[in-house]
Structure 1
Amino acid sequence: MFDIGWDEMALIAVVSLIVIGPKDLPVVLRQMGRWTRKAREMASEFHRGMDDMVRESELDELKKQVTKATDVNLLRQEVDKAIDPTGEMAKAMELPALDVNAAHEVAPPALAAIPEPTPDEIKPAETPARPPEP
């Protein structure tokens, strides 16, 4: 972490033994361990927070992409562009506007105009063939 070699560690141990003394050295080392643990916990919490922010950011982008992909109008426009880029087929498929008043003026065909079938034209219903009995 700090790139300290064994010779530097030995020098620090000797100096701390002389300065602090053998009686208080275990207490100081225990306190240093607590500070180190606290610093690592804070670093890991910061790292987790950053990971959560990145994950949320990626989820927001993914949500936007899914919303865009499932937009029916957008999909229809893309399909229309792929099939009919010039719009000629869409123009050909358009129905002319109907005049509502003109539709009421047309009389329905009379029933008398439909000829009745003659008995020769009517075919008898065919009966299905029975399978042979075993």
Structure 2
Amino acid sequence: MLDLAWSEIALIAVVALVVIGPKDLPDAIKGVAKGIQSLRRKVSEFQQQADELVREAKLEDVRNQIADVRNTISDIRRFDIKGEIEKAVDSDGTVRKAFEDPMKDAYVPPVYTPPPVPENAPAFVPPDVARWAAPPPPPEPPSVPAPAFV
């Protein structure tokens, strides 16, 4: 059968959606499905009729020819068009190598190591942190001696 990747199927779906339109797309899909079903039925009917003719006539040569045709069809189904095109266009692999990243294995990102901090260095406090810190407690009122009641 056809070898379609998900990206190719998605591309076909988007093109069908644009060309056919969202209203008529379900009807178009049903029509294609019915067409494929009828084609499969006709092929199976043809195979049954051919087998019946062979049985009636008992022609071994015809049976062998039909088997050869079936083998040829299965070979066509297994035909790898992508591989054949790659072999024809880029038989030695130079085109594929040209598009590969030459530095993909050579680059090693550097490891960051911060500079050492002296032991007597004061702690760094960003200027905005002082604004976020809790406000200092209010000052205590001055102590006034209590009046003496006599």
TM value normalised by structure 1: 0.40
Structure number with higher relative contact order (C-alpha < 8 Å, ≥ 6 residues apart): 2
- Going by fraction, where is helix more abundant, 1 or 2? 1
- Structure number with bigger Rg: 1
